């Protein structure tokens, strides 16, 4: 058993040192060293107790064979290596991970040795990002800091599995709390007016389907005519279109819950029939002939996929140009959910329809809408009790 020791270092810190093994080439002892620093308002005895607890933890891990060799590899060097080819991360998510690492992690933690990274470093990092972590030294939102924290946590989790660290120190610090915000959506009395103002626009069919089905942007743009049963009034979601710096690609839904069948209102079905006729007329005019069954429902004139990002930009220009309510294209999905909840549909049915992995996720996302419905339920019970 490696005993290790604790040594006071500076006014408010203790060094924890424990022997790992001997260098096979030189025979010299190799050590793991970590400094436990106290906060300004923390009694020195409490700092010492934390150092003792850490030493006990290290002994226990070494007894179980969970040791690491000393290494000067920095947080940046390790994360860059990990982000070269991480397992189980989609290209779009990987792109976002790299962006967060470059902009939020490396400038503040990148040069710290991976094995010396401590919970205090992460706590200070959060504070710095919240105060001046954005472009030009502007504050970052708690939500963005939380995203950066989760990227670091994922990287350190992999480092622990690879025995590059004793523990994931990011798990010792909670990311900043994000205030609950109501998701933006069109109000029920706005939807009809928005559609009236769009009837002559090329985006009208995709907007109608978005509002009538709750499909995500990528799901809408991946739809083929063979996924639609207009006679039966249903659409089958089988895939999604993703856009990264490398280009466009079709991919399977995020989870098994994303692969689903969604019923369509009669208005949506009629709009899609009209859209199909217009698409056929355009193809004939361009000399492309009749579209195959697996042709995309929403596409460029030559049948190629549309850029999801361009769709969002076109929507933003349309909102400004026609003085529509200022909501994002994604908010059309939220508008669909809002209408379902206002109509009294239960949370499990809503969750299945929009492809959420669980009803709990739906409740968390749309809690303010369900709270409103609960208030109506209380009023209904009151009426029954006072009859």
pLDDT band for position 375 (cuts 50, 70, 90): low
* pLDDT exceeds 60 at position 382: no
Which residues 6+ apart lie within 8 Å of 9 measured at CB?
Answer: 15, 35
**Domain extent listing, the chain:** 5-63, 75-172, 188-378
Among 180, 179, 178, 158, smallest CA distance to 168 is for 158
* pLDDT exceeds 90 at position 343: no
Burial per residue of 278-308, b for 16 or more beta-carbon CB atoms within 10 angstroms, e otherwise: ebeeebeeeeeeebeeebbbbbeeeeebbbb
CA distance linking residue 31 with residue 68, whole number of Å: 10
Q: In the predicted model, what is the mean pLDDT of the chain?
A: 88
pLDDT band for position 218 (cuts 50, 70, 90): very high
Q: Supply the DSSP string of 40-59, one letter for each residue.
A: TTS-HHHHHHHHHHHHHHHH
Q: Provide the 10 A C-beta neighbour count for residue 182.
A: 10
* pLDDT exceeds 70 at position 350: yes
CB distance 203 to 350 below 8 Å? no
* pLDDT exceeds 60 at position 384: no
Mean pLDDT of all residues in 52-80: 82
Fold of 75-172: DNA polymerase; domain 1 (1.10.150)
CATH 1.10.443.10 at 188-378, yes or no? yes
Span 156-197, pLDDT tens digits = 999 888 878 878 999 999 999 887 666 788 988 899 999 999
Residue listed under structure tokens 């009395």: 189
Q: Among 36-45, 193-202, 266-275, whose mean pLDDT is lowest?
A: 36-45
Q: How far is CA 56 from the centre of its chain?
A: 37
């Amino acid at each position: 058993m490696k005993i290790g020791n604790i040594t006071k270092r500076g006014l408010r810190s203790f060094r924890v040192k424990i022997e790992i093994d001997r260098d096979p080439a030189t025979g010299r002892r190799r050590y793991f060293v970590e400094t436990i620093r106290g906060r300004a308002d923390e009694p020195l005895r409490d700092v010492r107790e934390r150092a003792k607890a850490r030493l006990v933890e290290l002994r226990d891990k070494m007894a179980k064979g969970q040791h690491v060799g000393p290494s000067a590899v920095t947080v940046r060097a390790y994360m860059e290596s990990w982000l070269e080819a991480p397992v189980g991360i989609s290209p779009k998510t990987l792109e976002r991970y790299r962006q967060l690492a470059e902009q939020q992690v490396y400038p503040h933690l990148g040069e710290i040795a991976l094995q010396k990274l401590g919970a205090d470093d992460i706590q200070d990092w959060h504070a710095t990002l919240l105060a001046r972590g954005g472009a030009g030294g502007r504050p970052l939102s708690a939500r963005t800091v939380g995203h950066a924290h989760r990227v670091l946590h994922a990287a350190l989790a992999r480092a622990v599995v690879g025995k590059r660290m004793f523990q994931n120190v990011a798990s010792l610090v909670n990311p900043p709390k994000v205030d609950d915000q109501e998701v933006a959506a069109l109000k029920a009395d706005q939807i009809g007016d928005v559609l009236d103002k769009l009837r002559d626009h090329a985006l009208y069919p995709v907007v109608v389907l978005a509002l009538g089905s709750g499909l995500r942007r990528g799901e809408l743009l991946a739809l083929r005519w063979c996924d639609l049963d207009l006679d039966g009034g249903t659409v089958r979601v089988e895939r999604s279109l993703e856009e990264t710096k490398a280009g466009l690609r079709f991919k399977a839904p995020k989870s098994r819950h994303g692969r689903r069948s969604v019923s369509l209102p009669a208005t949506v079905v009629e709009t899609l029939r009209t859209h199909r006729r217009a698409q056929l007329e355009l193809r004939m005019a361009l000399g492309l002939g009749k579209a195959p069954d697996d042709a995309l429902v929403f596409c460029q004139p030559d049948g190629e996929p549309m850029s999801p990002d361009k769709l969002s930009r076109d929507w933003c220009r349309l909102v400004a140009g026609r003085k529509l309510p200022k909501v994002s294209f994604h908010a059309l999905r939220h508008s669909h959910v809002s209408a379902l909840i206002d109509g009294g549909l239960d949370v499990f049915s809503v969750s299945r329809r929009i492809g959420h992995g669980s009803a709990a996720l739906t409740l968390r996302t749309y809690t303010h809408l369900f709270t409103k419905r609960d208030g109506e339920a209380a009023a209904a019970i009151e009426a029954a009790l006072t009859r």
